[in-house]
Chains A and B, each alone.
Chain A
Amino acid sequence: QVQLVQSGAEVKKPGASVKVSCKASGYTFTSFGISWVRQAPGQGLEWMGWIAPYNDNTNYAEKFQGRLTMTTDTSATTAYMELRSLRSDDTAVYYCARNRCYGGNCYTDNWGQGTLVTVSS
């Protein structure tokens, strides 16, 4: 069965960077994109961007341009999300999710368990 297993919780100081991993199993990793979505405490879901593991093409939401990098390691079937210059309002649970696509339209079907990133001085 499809599984996405994320790395553990992180505590970071303002200005630092965080890198979250997402280990995929149960499907052909290079056949599906990976999205990253975050959820601040008590808030809704916010799409951050996605990456296509077969060619590492990325699309980032405009608000994260310049401080977000998504990468993959196909040999390890793992996706990574790195967010830099952290601020207190980056405190959130970060999810990876698999993209299922039909033609040019993709939605997220399977999700990781989430990784809590806390930014605090």
Chain B
Amino acid sequence: DIQMTQSPSTLSASVGDRVTITCRASQFISHWLAWYQQKPGKAPKLLISKTSNLESGVPSRFSGSGSGTEFTLTISSLQPDDFATYYCQQYNSYYTFGQGTKLEIK
């Protein structure tokens, strides 16, 4: 099974900050990686597929990069609506999610 490791688990930041979340796969997954945002009591929302493809309607301050085993999600200038938990998901072989990164207000 492919394991996904996200870091950090918790990130404290302020509005306007640039933040980066990292996701590492235990084996090669090419570019088959997605990112989701989840707010308390809500279903996950797809932000990015295939490492860097932004979903329709997702603000351009979100971006993704990487390949192989290491990937990043970057938010260029944090907005109040961005404080949430973020998950990566590999879909090279079935699905595995990272453990999540909680983005908190500093």
Is A53 close to B, CB under 8 A?
no
* CB <8 Å contact, A109 and B46: yes
Is A89 close to B, CB under 8 A?
no
Pick from B46, B50, B92, B99: contact of A108, CB under 8 Å: B46
* CB <8 Å contact, B46 and A107: yes
Is A46 close to B, CB under 8 A?
yes
* CB <8 Å contact, B34 and A107: yes
Residues of chain A contacted by B55 (CB below 8 angstroms)? 109
Instruction: Give the size category of B's interface with A.
Output: 20 to 34
CA distance A62 to B93 in the complex (A): 13
Number of interchain pairs (Cβ within 8 Å):
53
- Most A CB contacts (10 A, CB to CB) among B89, B92, B94 go to B94
Give the total of A residues in contact with B, Cβ under 8 Å: 23
- Most A CB contacts (10 A, CB to CB) among B43, B94, B98 go to B43
Which residues, 42 to 99 on B, are CB-close (under 8 Å) to A?
43-46, 49-50, 55, 87, 89, 91-92, 94-99
CA distance A62 to B94 in the complex (A): 11
Residues of chain B contacted by A62 (CB below 8 angstroms)? 1
* CB <8 Å contact, B46 and A44: no
Pick from B43, B87, B91: contact of A44, CB under 8 Å: B87
- Which residues of A line the B interface, CB within 8 A? 35, 37, 44-47, 59, 61-62, 95, 97, 100, 102, 105-114
Q: Which 10 A-B pairs have the closest CB atoms?
A: A111-B43, A47-B95, A45-B97, A107-B34, A107-B91, A44-B100, A44-B99, A105-B32, A109-B46, A107-B49
10 A/B residue pairs, CB under 8 Å, sorted by A: A44-B100, A47-B95, A47-B96, A106-B91, A107-B34, A107-B95, A108-B44, A109-B55, A111-B45, A112-B43
